[in-house]
Amino acid sequence: MSRGDDESGLSGDGAEVNGVKTRPRRAETRQRLLDAAFDAFAEEGFGRCSVEQVCERAGFTRGAFYSNFTSLEELFLAMWEQRSAAMLADAAAVLDTPDGVPGDPRRAVEQVLAAVPIDDKWFRITSEFTAHALRNPALRQVMVAREEAIAAALTPVVLTLMRRNGRRVPNPTALGRALVAVHDGTLTQCLLEPDNPSLRDYRVDLFLRVLDSYSEPAP
* pLDDT over threshold 50, residue 98: yes
Stretch 124-132: mean pLDDT: 94
Stretch 84-99: mean pLDDT: 83
- Domain-ending residue, one of 17, 35, 66: 66
Do 161 and 93 belong to one domain? yes
* pLDDT over threshold 50, residue 13: no
* pLDDT over threshold 60, residue 21: no
> What is the rounded average pLDDT for all residues in the chain?
86
Based on the structure, what is the number of domains in the chain?
2
- Domain-ending residue, one of 16, 35, 66: 66
Do 85 and 179 belong to one domain? yes
Predicted local confidence at residue 1, as pLDDT: 35
Q: Which domain holds residue 49?
A: 3-66
* pLDDT over threshold 50, residue 197: yes
Query: Do 211 and 109 touch, CB atoms closer than 8 A?
Result: yes
Which among 104, 138, 140, 122 has a CA at the least distance from the CA of 184? 122
Query: Do 15 and 29 touch, CB atoms closer than 8 A?
Result: no
Do 89 and 185 belong to one domain? yes
What are the E-state strand segments in the chain? 15-17, 20-22, 167-168, 216-217
Which among 4, 9, 22 has a CA at the least distance from the CA of 64? 4
Predicted local confidence at residue 99, as pLDDT: 55
Stretch 30-40: mean pLDDT: 97
User: String of b and e for 177-200 (b: at least 16 CB within 10 Å)?
Assistant: ebbeebbeebbeebeeeeeeeebb
Predicted local confidence at residue 151, as pLDDT: 87
Stretch 181-187: mean pLDDT: 92
Q: Looking at residue 101, which CATH number applies to its domain?
A: 1.10.357
Do 119 and 54 belong to one domain? no
Do 114 and 194 belong to one domain? yes
Do 181 and 158 belong to one domain? yes
- Provide the pLDDT confidence category of residue 41 given band limits of 50, 70 and 90: very high
- Provide the pLDDT confidence category of residue 18 given band limits of 50, 70 and 90: low
Predicted local confidence at residue 5, as pLDDT: 40
Do 85 and 52 belong to one domain? no
Q: Looking at residue 37, which CATH number applies to its domain?
A: 1.10.10.60
Do 98 and 196 belong to one domain? yes
Do 18 and 102 belong to one domain? no
Do 80 and 187 belong to one domain? yes
For the chain, give percent helix, strand, coil, nearest 5. Answer: 70, 5, 25
- Provide the pLDDT confidence category of residue 103 given band limits of 50, 70 and 90: low
